[in-house]
């Protein structure tokens, strides 16, 4: 029934596009309606996909939502790295502006729709055993990747005592700032905290 061109498979392309639409709709639903309001049917309808097609791609609700959070987390990491690596006028490698830009970018990972969606998933997982396992593993993976990225972007040397824990605390602070932004727009306060802690981090990394 299908014709297979030499270089592309339109059916596979369509399947990939459907999967992508479902993942995007899942994140939007989770951030807006929470776990309780995010069923496969709701997501499928939002994505303009039949429920059957949705279940073909993701057999369970847990599969759909953990895949969605995971993919967006990966996209964000890649975008962050590209942003800082490819700036046409990059701040001086070891200067305070560079440290500020990195801290600011790391914090921004926790204040957008991805964090809102992930937070809904974490909190739901704390009450729903069937979500617990996959979400705990996903959270650990995102945590490790964020740490690795922070160390690399800050050019930090983890063999120096205290550096590892300083950077971990910075990521905990970023997560806390994300939570503070959940109900109200916390941007002006956040900016002041980021400026001050970027200075402190810069000093601790031995560049002050």
Nearer of residues 151 and 204 to a copy of itself, judged by Cβ: 204
150, 143 contact by CB (below 8 A) = no
| DSSP per-residue letters across 162-186 | THHHHHHHHHHHHHHHHHHTTTS--
What is the token pair recorded at 144?
A: 């490790």
Cβ proximity to a copy of itself, 18 vs 146, nearer residue = 146
Q: Which is nearer to a copy of itself, 24 or 139 (CB)?
A: 139
Query: From the CB of 139, what's the least distance to a copy of itself, in Å?
Result: 6
Residue entry with tokens 């989770």: 30
Select 125 or 150, whichever has its Cβ closest to a copy of itself.
125
**CA dist 55 → 59, 76, 88, 195 (Å):** 5, 26, 44, 46
**Pair 69, 114: CB distance under 8 Å:** yes
At closest approach, how far in Å is the CB of 174 from a copy of itself? 7
CB of 8 to a copy of itself, least distance (A): 41
CB contact set of 31 (below 8 Å; sequence gap of 6+): 113, 116, 117, 120
Kindly state the smallest distance separating residue 10's Cβ from a copy of itself, in Å: 39
Rounded to a whole number of angstroms, the minimum distance from the CB of residue 44 to a copy of itself is: 20
Q: Which residues bind a copy of itself (CB under 8 A)?
A: 32-34, 36-37, 116, 119-120, 122-127, 132, 135-136, 139-140, 143, 162, 165-166, 168-180, 182-184, 189, 192-193, 195-197, 199-200, 204
Q: What letter would DSSP give residue 112?
A: S
CB closer to a copy of itself, 53 vs 193: 193
Is residue 17 within a helix (H) or strand (E), and if so which, with residue range?
Answer: helix 10-33
CB of 28 to a copy of itself, least distance (A): 13
d(CA 125, CA 36): 11
Nearer to a copy of itself, 3 or 184 (CB): 184
């Amino acid at each position: 029934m299908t014709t297979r061109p030499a270089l592309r498979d339109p059916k596979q392309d369509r399947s990939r596009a459907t999967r992508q639409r479902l993942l995007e709709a899942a994140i939007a639903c989770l951030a807006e309606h929470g776990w309780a309001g995010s069923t496969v049917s709701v997501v499928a309808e939002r994505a303009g996909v039949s429920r059957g097609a949705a279940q073909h791609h993701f057999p369970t609700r847990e599969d759909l939502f953990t895949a969605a959070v995971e993919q967006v987390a990966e996209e964000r990491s890649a975008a962050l790295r590209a942003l800082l690596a490819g700036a046409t006028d990059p701040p001086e490698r070891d200067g305070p502006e560079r440290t500020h830009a990195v801290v600011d970018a790391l914090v921004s990972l926790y204040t957008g729709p991805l964090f809102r969606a992930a937070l809904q998933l974490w909190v739901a997982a704390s009450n729903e055993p069937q979500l617990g396992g996959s979400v705990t593993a996903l959270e650990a993976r995102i945590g490790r990747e964020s740490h690795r990225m922070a160390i690399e972007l800050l050019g930090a040397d983890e063999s120096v005592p205290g550096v590892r824990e300083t950077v971990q605390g910075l990521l905990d602070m970023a997560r806390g700032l994300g939570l503070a932004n959940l109900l109200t727009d916390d941007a002006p306060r956040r900016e002041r905290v980021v400026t001050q802690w970027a200075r402190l981090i810069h000093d601790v990394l031995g560049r002050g």
